[in-house]
Amino acid sequence: MVISYLYKNEIVINKALTRAMGVFTFILLLSLGAYIRLPLPFTPVPITLQTFFVLLCGALMGRKYAPIATFSYLVLGVLGLPIFQGYGRGMLHIFGPTGGYLIGFVAASFVIGYLIDLKRDEQNLWWIIFSMAAGKAIIYSFGIIWLSLSMHIGLTKAVYLGFVPFIPGAIFKLLSASLIYSKIS
């Protein structure tokens, strides 16, 4: 009886530790993804690897823990760690032209996790791609709307500055993250 009780508690502790390590890992990956950036001269939005890691975070961590990882990343950046793109930090970065994308990370990670969790036992590559595409749509929606508001430009111009140049990279990241997740899940 005592051995059985200890064994069950050990499993609970191991699951909690695994989840905490997952959250920490994705905070780190999102931070590193912000440093891998390619600024484009015609838009304030750079190309980064962050969205790739948001996709994997949502799929691997699920709807409960992925938003914790992405929100924690935002909190650490707001508190002053230079972990946003361009070594950005602080609340002003959230209110800058790329703040909508950052907020979108939290919503996207939840939706991806939710969709993946719906069919966790019967997934196929098309469902994974669909789930991650929904997350990408959320990130771009938040980003474009905020870009429009923060720069005082119309939505059409915001789409041209904050979405159109990123389509090829977004497709590549989406397919790469989907394939990686399908192989390790």
Instruction: List the domain boundaries for the chain.
Output: 2-184
Residue 5 has pLDDT above 90, yes or no: no
- Residue 6 has what pLDDT? 47
Cβ–Cβ < 8 Å for 90, 55: no
Q: What is the mean pLDDT of the chain?
A: 92
The neighbour count for residue 91, using CB atoms within 10 Å, is 12
In which band, very low, low, confident or very high, does the pLDDT at 12 lie, cut at 50, 70 and 90?
low
Cβ–Cβ < 8 Å for 23, 68: yes
Cβ–Cβ < 8 Å for 139, 108: yes
Cβ–Cβ < 8 Å for 112, 58: yes
- Residue 21 has what pLDDT? 94
pLDDT in tens, 117-133: 998 888 799 999 999 99
- Give CA–CA dist 120/141, Å, rounded: 26
**Average pLDDT of 95-99?**
94
- Residue 14 has what pLDDT? 80
Q: So what CATH class is 2-184?
A: mainly alpha
Whole-model pTM: value is 0.91
pLDDT in tens, 51-80: 999 999 999 999 999 999 999 999 999 999
Residues facing residue 47 across a β-bridge: 38
